[in-house]
Each structure stands twice: as structure tokens, then as C-alpha cells.
Amino acid sequence: MTLQGWTLPQSATGRSSIVAAPPWHYSGEIIAVDFTAPPDAVAALLPKGLSPTPEGSASVVFADWCSASDNDDRVIADPAIGQYREAYLVLHAVRGDRKVGRVPFIWVDSELSLLRGQIQGFPKKLGQIAMTRPVAIGRGGVRKEEGSLFAAHASSHGRRVLTAQVRIEAQTERLPKAATLPLVHTRLFPSIDRSEPSVHELQLGTIANFECGTIYTGSAKLELGPTEYEEIGSLGPVKVGAGYVFSMAFSVLGGKVEPL
């Protein structure tokens, strides 16, 4: 019969598929740290057409997401499906006359997000992510306020790939770069019967409903790697900049594709 489903596994109804087609909606708690890396090392992770900034600027982002899908109401209904944590690097880059972001490495703790990401060109691997979560009452945790320490780390195959912390010092109106640079992804799906890939193209997400809550900023610490599986050791960090703690939300309506 004609099997249904936006992704595998397909079935008569399409209800077994891991990912349903967009629109997708995201509400998350973010811990981010700006840093600089050797521009050469940044360049070695950028696709043709993107150049590093002169100072090699970049960010690390940790996100604790709730997500929803217009075409699958189980994503918002079942917390085991829609919720996940991820951690990633954003290299700040220039493409023509436009400032863009590029995600060379990203780890996530969810099957849905892993595959939903691969379809968009996020190079998602599995990882374990821990992030300080503010509490509303009591002494078991910290408040999202001046003086609080927010920590986050990510590991993969038992190696700590990212370790960060932010000591909140103030509120700010300035949106962190990591939240505003449009991301340029590479969609890549290999062929199995020849050497050139079946899909190999650039992709820019069509984003709507972008929103941030109060943005807290402060001093930060950051450690990259070591790991034998991702080439992040070369990125330093050379200099660690400001850290940020904030809520962020947006929708992905689809994407725009361009040749490599």
C-alpha cells in the first residue's frame, strides 16, 4: 500500500513516524556564553562562502526545551517526546554582507530532536546535558537573579565536551548574538549506491514568533573538550566573554534551501 509518514517508520496512518512535518514550536531556558577562538580554527569548520569574524567570535548555547508540533499533538502532550536538552556551538560568521551563525557541533538527549535536527542540517549527536534550572521557592536551588550561579555541561561517550558557568550580574536589553544570528545549515544525506550524496545543500530556517524573556548577563567560564570525536579542542577558547541566562521561544515554519 502507499505508506504514510514524513519520516521513517512509515505505516498506513503515518502515526509511527518519528518526526511530523513543521510547523514546530519551541519554548526554552537558555544558558549561553560568548567566546573567541583562533579565526583559522573557526574557518576550518565553516562551509564555502562563510568567513570567520576578525576576532573569531563564537558562542556556546545550552537549551532546555519544550517543543510542540502542529502535525503531531503527542509532542506537546507527552513530556518524554517533546522535552529535551541540547548544547551547541555557534560560530559567528560573515556570508556576503550578512552576519550569520553556523553550528558545527551539537549534542541532544532526544531521538525526536536528533532526527528533526538532521533534517534541517543541525549536525546533532546524542549527549547528556545538565543545566541549572531556577527554582520558584525554597532553598533547593537558585533564583534567576543577580548573584546566582548557573552551571551547564554536556558530555558524549563519557567525555565532557562542554562545561560552562555564568554568574548573573545584571539584566540587559541587548539580545545575545547566539540568539539573533540567522543559522546557515548544511543538509546532508548520503547515497548508498554512489559516492556523491543524495542531498547536499544549504538551509536557512524560516523562523516566526521569536520572543525572549528577561535577559540576565554576567561573567562566565568555559571549557571545551577534550574529546577524540569532535574537533573542538582547536577552538580554545582564546577569550571568554559575557554569559547569558534567559527564556527564548520561536517557531520553525520550514526552511529555504540554497545550493552549496
Span 81-140, contacts to its own copies by CB under 8 A: 81-83, 104-106, 111, 114-115, 118-126, 128, 130-133, 135-140
Please give the grid coordinates belonging to residue 185. 545549515
Q: How far is the CB of 7 from its own copies (least distance, A)?
A: 6
Q: How far is the CB of 205 from its own copies (least distance, A)?
A: 8
> Based on CB atoms, which residue is closest to its own copies, 12 or 98?
12
Q: Which of residues 22-41 bind its own copies (CB under 8 A)?
A: 22, 25-28
Q: How far is the CB of 49 from its own copies (least distance, A)?
A: 10
Q: How far is the CB of 181 from its own copies (least distance, A)?
A: 18
* Paired strand residues for 29: 64, 247
R_g of the chain, CA atoms, integer Å: 19
Amino acid 118 reads: Q
Say if residues 88 and 32 touch (Cβ distance below 8 Å): no
57 is a site residue for its own copies (CB under 8 A)? no
Give the three-state DSSP class for 122: coil
- The Cα–Cα gap between 239 and 138 comes to 36
Amino acid 96 reads: G
- Which of 79-87, 166-174, 176-184, 215-223 is the region at the interface with its own copies (rule: CB under 8 A)? 79-87
Please give the grid coordinates belonging to residue 160. 565532557
- Which of 90-98, 175-183, 235-243, 247-255 is the region at the interface with its own copies (rule: CB under 8 A)? 247-255
Among 38, 43, 53, 219, binds its own copies (CB under 8 A): 43
Q: Which of residues 227-246 bind its own copies (CB under 8 A)?
A: 228-231
Would you tell me how many other CB atoms lie within 10 Å of the CB of residue 102?
A: 22
Would you tell me how many other CB atoms lie within 10 Å of the CB of residue 205?
A: 21
- In terms of Cα–Cα distance, which of 32, 29, 28, 39 is closest to 165? 32
Among 98, 141, 147, 180, binds its own copies (CB under 8 A): 141
Q: How far is the CB of 216 from its own copies (least distance, A)?
A: 13
Q: Which of residues 149-208 bind its own copies (CB under 8 A)?
A: 149, 151-155, 157-160, 186-193, 195, 198-199, 203
Q: How far is the CB of 45 from its own copies (least distance, A)?
A: 6
Say if residues 239 and 220 touch (Cβ distance below 8 Å): no
> Based on CB atoms, which residue is closest to its own copies, 171 or 191?
191
* Beta strand spans in 7-105 (E): 24-36, 51-52, 57-69, 83-95, 98-102
Q: How far is the CB of 36 from its own copies (least distance, A)?
A: 19
2 is a site residue for its own copies (CB under 8 A)? yes
Q: How far is the CB of 191 from its own copies (least distance, A)?
A: 8
Give the three-state DSSP class for 258: strand
User: Angle at Cα 98 formed by Cα 26 and Cα 205, nearest 5°?
Assistant: 25
54 is a site residue for its own copies (CB under 8 A)? no
In the chain, DSSP finds a helix count (H) and a strand count (E) of 5, 14
> Based on CB atoms, which residue is closest to its own copies, 111 or 146?
111
